[in-house]
Amino acid sequence: MRIERDGSVWRGRAINLSGVVPRFDGARIVHAMAGGKESGLRVACGDPGDLHEHVGRIASGMTLRRHTALAAAARSRGWSAPQDEEHDRIQDRIGELSVSGVDTATARKRLAETADELDRQRERVARLQGQVKALRDRPGQQAGEAYGALERAMRELSELATERAAAEQALERARDRQRQLHDRHDERLALEDRAANLARAARRHLCDRLRNEFERAVESVPGALGLPDDPVTVALAVVRLGELSAPVVLECDRFDTVRAATDWLNAPVISL
C-alpha cells in the first residue's frame, strides 16, 4: 500500500504513523481507502470489500456487529451459505418488480379545491336569490341586473358541479392505480422479508462454521485477558480469521510493533 500526504509518502504492508505530526485521522484514512475524496491525502491499496466496512478501523470504544462481521470474514475466505442461491433469486425478483409511483395528492387537492369553490358558489347563489326575491317583493325596483347576476352565478355553479364530479372520478382512477401499486409493494415487502430471513440464516450458518476457530482466535488476541467480549478483541480476531487486502487502521495498543500486528492479523496494517 501507499499513503501520500502533502508530499510525504509511506509505503509497505506495515506502516506506523503514530509519531507523525500533524496526526492522522483514522476515519479520513478509511474514507480515502474506500475511494472518498480527502484533500491532501491519498491512499492506494487493495479493494476494501465488505469485511473492511466492519473491521477496517479498530479503535477503543468502537462498536461492532459481531455476527455480521464474523459472517463477512467467512465470506472473505470465499465461503458461501446454502441459503445464498435462493436469496439471490429473490433479490432478482425484487429488482424486476417495478413499483413506479402513483401520485394521488394532486387529485386529492383538486377535489378539495373544487369542493370548497362549490360551497362558496352555493352560498353566493343563495345570497343572490335572496336579493332577487327582496326586489321582487317591492314593485317598482329595477330587478334586471340582479337577475342577470343570479343567472351567471347559477351557470358557474353548474360548471363547478361538473368539475367536481370530474375531480371525483379522477381521484377514483388514481386510487385504483394506487391500489395496484400497493399490491406490488405488498409482494415486494414479502419478498424482502423472506430475503432478510435467508440472509440471517446464512449469517448464522457462516458464524457456526467459524465458531471454533473464532473462539481460539479470541483467546489468542494480545491483551484479550479479561476482555473477551471487548469489541476491539473481537474485531482483531475477526481480521485474523478473514482475508483483507486493504489495510486495517489500528488505534489501539494491543501490539508492540506494527510488524507484530501485521504478522498476527495476517493483513496490511496502518498504526496510528
Partner 1 sequence: MLLIITYTRSARSSLRNVRRSHEDVVVRWFGRSALFEATELGAFHGLRLREKHPEAVQIERTRPFNEFMAVPQRVRDAVRAYSEREHANTPYSAFAAGTDHPDVASMARREL
**CB nearer to partner 1: pick between 134 and 189:** 189
Asked whether position 97 contacts partner 1 by CB under 8 A, the answer is: no
Helix (H) / strand (E) element for 44: namely strand 41-44
Asked whether position 185 contacts partner 1 by CB under 8 A, the answer is: yes
State which amino acid sits at residue 114. T
**Sole residue written with cell 483467546:** 219
Asked if residue 75 lies in contact with residue 206, where contact means CB atoms within 8 angstroms, the answer is yes
Contacting residue, 67, 189, 215, 216, with partner 1 by CB under 8 A: 189
Residue 22: cis peptide before it, omega within 30 degrees of 0: yes
Stretch that binds partner 1, among 27-35, 71-79, 117-125, 176-184 (CB under 8 A): 176-184
d(CA 209, CA 86): 20
Tell me how far, at minimum, the Cβ of 115 lies from partner 1, in Å: 15
Asked whether position 65 contacts partner 1 by CB under 8 A, the answer is: no
Contacting residue, 181, 201, 227, 260, with partner 1 by CB under 8 A: 181
Q: 212: which 3 cell numbers? A: 471454533
User: What Cα–Cα distance (Å) separates residue 211 from each residue in 16, 55, 145, 207, 253?
Assistant: 32, 18, 94, 6, 26
Asked whether position 182 contacts partner 1 by CB under 8 A, the answer is: yes
Tell me how far, at minimum, the Cβ of 103 lies from partner 1, in Å: 8
d(CA 270, CA 101): 47
Contacting residue, 99, 134, 165, 166, with partner 1 by CB under 8 A: 99
Asked whether position 166 contacts partner 1 by CB under 8 A, the answer is: no
Q: Which positions lie near partner 1, rule CB under 8 A?
A: 99, 101-102, 178, 181-182, 185-186, 188-189, 192-193, 196
